[in-house]
């Protein structure tokens, strides 16, 4: 099994294979921005002691009837099981920062033979591992993930570690548990897209028009929607703040939200937040790493359980694109 790759080759080429304290410090180490795990905000996190989430869908029938002296009871109550799978995901790292000693970033090392105490370890966890974990789950897990049983001894991808929203919704559509609202391909003109989207959401059953709904989509689709709102309703939005541009006309509780996780996807989905569940077990471990010393290597690792799912399938509103 390969260790975590630490490559100072270009740094040595640029600044030399030695450490000279010229005042450089952590503030001089520049990482590119990490995408936050923002799609998780569409879900209600539910801590669990078990490794699977179970609840019940309760369905009822009407009870009102015309009066008569005879006692004529009616009504029905049925219970159906709800299961949301949880997946055991982990982070494993093994590394020896020794190769950094004779480099410009030598300030990340010390003379202590216990390498778990080196400044590099804390920086590595706080600035890389914690932020990269959020990025991985956002960009490859929560939306695009499709679980694949691991191959023994081989590290798998984030996308193979958990089932994401797209997989979950499409599986329910294939099983006729969700009936998608037909959208066809989306318009590319901003104003036409807004009109098309307004017509599309208006097909949702009137029973749910008072629910608070956020329609999750790609960042590009959200931008197209905002541009279209400015053009179509310019006289109304001239003095309004930017948040108003994400709201859907005639549905005051509904808005759109672009997600990093959706990439270039044309699929749109919404459900009341209480209906979208993210069961977790040991989720606090996501930000806590175990450290081990093995010879001159440092091992940093953690694991937890997590899943995504929905309580009531008929409250998931989505379109008919990208069904596989």
Beta bridge partners of 251: 248
Residue-wise pLDDT tens digits, 42-72: 999 999 999 999 999 999 999 999 999 999 9
**pLDDT reported for residue 235:** 58
Report the C-alpha gap between 142 and 165 in whole angstroms: 6
Per-residue pLDDT of the chain (324 residues; tens, 9 = 90+): 578 999 999 999 999 998 999 999 999 999 999 999 999 999 999 999 999 999 999 999 999 999 999 999 999 999 999 999 999 999 999 999 999 999 999 999 999 999 999 999 999 999 999 999 999 999 999 999 999 999 999 999 999 999 999 999 999 999 999 999 999 999 999 999 999 999 999 999 999 999 999 999 999 999 999 999 988 987 565 555 577 889 999 998 999 999 999 999 999 999 999 999 999 999 999 999 999 999 999 999 999 999 999 999 999 999 999 998
- Nearest-5° Cα angle at 192, 186 to 193: 40
Placement of tokens 């006289």 in the chain: 235
The answer to whether residues 302 and 288 touch, using CB atoms and an 8 Å cutoff, is yes
The answer to whether residues 180 and 170 touch, using CB atoms and an 8 Å cutoff, is no
Report the C-alpha gap between 259 and 217 in whole angstroms: 6
Report the C-alpha gap between 103 and 89 in whole angstroms: 35
Q: Which residues of 81-98 are buried (b: 16+ CB within 10 A; e: fewer)?
A: ebebbbbebebebebebe
> Hey, which bits of 96-235 come out as E strands?
213-218
**pLDDT reported for residue 276:** 98
**pLDDT reported for residue 263:** 98
**pLDDT reported for residue 1:** 58
**pLDDT reported for residue 73:** 96
* pTM > 0.85: yes
Beta bridge partners of 7: none
């Amino acid at each position: 099994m390969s260790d975590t790759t630490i490559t100072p080759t270009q740094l040595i080429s640029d600044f030399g294979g030695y450490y000279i304290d010229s005042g450089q410090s952590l503030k001089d180490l520049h990482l590119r921005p990490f995408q936050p795990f923002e799609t998780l905000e569409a879900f209600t996190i539910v801590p669990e002691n078990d490794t699977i989430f179970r609840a019940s869908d309760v369905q009822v029938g009407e009870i009102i009837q015309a009066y008569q002296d005879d006692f004529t009871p009616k009504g029905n109550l049925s219970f159906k099981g709800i299961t949301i799978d949880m997946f055991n995901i982990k982070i494993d790292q093994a590394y020896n920062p020794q190769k950094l000693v004779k480099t410009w970033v030598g300030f990340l090392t010390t003379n202590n033979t216990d390498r778990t105490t080196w400044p590099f370890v804390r920086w590595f966890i706080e600035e890389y591992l914690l932020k990269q974990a959020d990025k991985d789950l956002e960009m490859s897990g929560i939306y695009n993930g499709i679980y694949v049983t691991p191959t023994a001894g081989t590290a798998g991808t984030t996308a193979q570690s958990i089932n994401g929203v797209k997989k979950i919704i499409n599986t329910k559509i294939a099983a006729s548990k969700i009936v998608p609202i037909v959208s066809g391909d989306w318009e590319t003109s901003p104003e036409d897209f807004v009109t098309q989207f307004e017509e599309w959401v208006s097909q949702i059953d009137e029973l749910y028009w008072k629910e608070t709904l956020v329609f999750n989509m790609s960042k590009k689709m959200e931008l197209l929607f905002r541009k279209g709102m400015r053009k179509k309703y310019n006289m109304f939005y001239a003095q309004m703040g930017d948040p108003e541009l994400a709201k859907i006309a005639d549905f005051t509780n509904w808005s759109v939200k672009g997600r990093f996780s959706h990439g270039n996807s044309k699929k749109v989905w919404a459900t009341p937040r209480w209906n979208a569940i993210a069961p977790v077990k040991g989720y606090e471990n996501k930000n806590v790493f175990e450290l081990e010393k093995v010879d001159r290597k440092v091992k940093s690792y953690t694991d937890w359980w997590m899943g995504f799912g929905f309580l009531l399938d008929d409250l998931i509103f989505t379109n008919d694109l990208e069904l596989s």
